[in-house]
Amino acid sequence: MVSLPRVVIAAPGSGAGKTTVATGLIAALRQRGLEVSPHKVGPDYIDPGYHGLAAGRPGRNLDPVMVGEALVAPLLLHGARGCDVAVVEGVMGLFDGRGSTEEGSTAHVAHLLEAPVLLVVDASSQSTSVAALVHGFMSYDEDLDVAGVILNRVATDRHEGMLRDALRGIVPVVGVLRRDAHVETPSRHLGLVPVAERAPEALATVERLGRVIGAGVDLDQVLEIASSAGDLDAEPWQPPTVERAERPVVALAGGAAFTFAYAETAEALTAAGADVVVVDPLRDEVLPEGTRALVLPGGFPEVYAEQLAANDRFLEAVRGHLDAGRPAYAECAGLLLLCKALDGTGMVGHVDAIATMTGTLTLGYRTVVAHSDTVGAAEGTVLVGHEFHRTTVDPRAGRRPAWQLQDGTLEGFTTAEGLLASYVHLHPAGAPDLALRLVERAASCS
């Protein structure tokens, strides 16, 4: 049994201000001198970057769809080692999950964590009706502990008074944020602009959010609510560990163009016996010395296509790595980098496909089956991944596809030498063989 104060930040729907409140709450608690463990429900990569900046430690995801229910609490405890409190930002509306179900929803995760919930309500267009809204969310699932509300976008003192009167006797009002206290964070086609692309402005943003939340939210009451969570009957997650006499170097792409990597990715590779070195395809001209495997996570190569193409020495280093038969694992942005071209701009060219931007968002979980033995999985392995992009590749799959989807569609590209590239994002805890297989293949390379 592990004791960890924890609270889930939820909302009736998207756009109510969950990220603002969660990020600001993390920053405000840290400004008090507390160690805060930041988490996000679902597969989102961008919000955890802001959480991590606010907390001074990696933001992490909790996704029962991708990793299974049994690993949600262990992953929370893994990320929260040495912390005083954990703050978990929800996804969409409180009960919105996979498809028309509650699977993977904020409520689902709150139940798995046995954590109290703070409901962020956009009160800009209501007064007394807020009572019906909050009462409905509290009564929909009476086993869920909705312990308080934070009223966002409140106009005036009079407006605040009406809202408080309406909620009296229903739920405690833990905080009130005024409409004019809004802190702007720039967005584009896949959501907020990632932290890595706007430092040091992003740091100033989270510091301002911390001050706003510190002024508008009763932090003592939040901590009291978080401390009401009981002990968790779980042990911290630990990736499979392999001791190796010689640890191969695995290059992990990072920097502004490749920000969609889970914190557990590098940890799983390290535990599998690799020395992980981060490389920035926008700035570095060569792969790290001794590189035996390459991991290209998701991100925004479409935003930096010309800069990536201009770094021809790096592209040539990747070609040389692949031509030598050394392994590589690429997700989404990594796939685009390996294509012949992205929106007419030349890329590495090892994958015989053309990538283009579209106006359509492709988003959702994917249950996939490994089409053959690959660097990522044994043939027939069933995994749950996620897609999140506004690009397309033609063709969608190569002669040796990576995956078969539930509808029979073939997805991605593999080679016998050890390349796996596809749109599908996987979480290391939900695909524990991936790091092991990749590092094993790397260790066997000369």
In a domain, 242, yes or no: no
pLDDT at 143 over 50: yes
pLDDT, tens digit, 9 for 90 and up, residues 249-293: 999 999 999 999 999 999 999 999 999 999 999 999 999 999 999
Q: Give me the torsion for CA of 319, 325, 331, 336, rounded to 10°.
A: 30
Question: Which domain does 288 fall in, by range?
Answer: 249-443
Q: What CATH number corresponds to the domain at position 68?
A: 3.40.50.300
Q: What CATH number corresponds to the domain at position 416?
A: 3.40.50.880
- Residues near 358 by beta carbon (within 8 Å), at least 6 away in sequence: 390, 391, 392
Domain boundary among 173, 197, 227: 227
Average pLDDT of the segment spanning 300-323: 95
Average pLDDT of the segment spanning 130-146: 97
Confidence tier at 201 by pLDDT (50, 70, 90): confident
pLDDT, tens digit, 9 for 90 and up, residues 397-409: 999 999 999 999 9
Query: Other C-beta atoms within 10 Å of 200: how many?
Result: 7
Structure-block tokens of residue 439: 């590092």
pLDDT at 326 over 80: yes
The answer on 80 and 142 residing in a single domain is yes
Structure-block tokens of residue 411: 């997805």
pLDDT of residue 205: 85
In a domain, 18, yes or no: yes
Confidence tier at 46 by pLDDT (50, 70, 90): confident
pLDDT at 120 over 60: yes
pLDDT, tens digit, 9 for 90 and up, residues 351-398: 999 999 998 988 999 999 999 999 999 999 999 999 999 999 999 999
The answer on 255 and 206 residing in a single domain is no
In a domain, 218, yes or no: yes
pLDDT of residue 190: 44
The answer on 313 and 218 residing in a single domain is no
In a domain, 243, yes or no: no
pLDDT of residue 1: 86
pTM for this structure?
0.95
In a domain, 125, yes or no: yes
pLDDT at 300 over 90: no
Confidence tier at 197 by pLDDT (50, 70, 90): low
In a domain, 183, yes or no: yes
Amino acid at 403: W
In a domain, 390, yes or no: yes
- Distance, in Å, from the CA atom of 317 to the CA atom of 327, rounded to the nearest integer, reads 14
The answer on 320 and 206 residing in a single domain is no
The answer on 176 and 295 residing in a single domain is no
The answer on 287 and 177 residing in a single domain is no
In a domain, 233, yes or no: no
Average pLDDT of the segment spanning 421-438: 98
Structure-block tokens of residue 116: 């109290």
Beta pairing class for 249-253 and 291-296: parallel
Burial (Cβ within 10 Å: 0-12, 13-18, ≥19) of residue 155: middle
The answer on 271 and 419 residing in a single domain is yes
Among 179-193, 225-239, 257-271, whose mean pLDDT is lowest?
A: 179-193
Residue 269 DSSP SS3: helix
Question: Looking at the annotation, which residues are catalytic?
Answer: 332
Average pLDDT of the segment spanning 130-143: 97
- Distance, in Å, from the CA atom of 164 to the CA atom of 173, rounded to the nearest integer, reads 7
- Distance, in Å, from the CA atom of 87 to the CA atom of 28, rounded to the nearest integer, reads 12
The answer on 258 and 221 residing in a single domain is no
**Count: domains in the chain:** 2
**CB 330 within 8 Å of CB 344:** no
Confidence tier at 232 by pLDDT (50, 70, 90): very high
Q: What are phi and psi of 430, to 5 degrees?
A: -90, -15
- Distance, in Å, from the CA atom of 50 to the CA atom of 62, rounded to the nearest integer, reads 16
**CB 159 within 8 Å of CB 127:** yes
The answer on 266 and 125 residing in a single domain is no
The answer on 260 and 207 residing in a single domain is no
The answer on 202 and 152 residing in a single domain is yes
The answer on 324 and 199 residing in a single domain is no
Rounded to 5°, angle at Cα 188 from 187 and 189: 140
Percent share of the chain, pLDDT over 90: 88
pLDDT at 436 over 90: yes
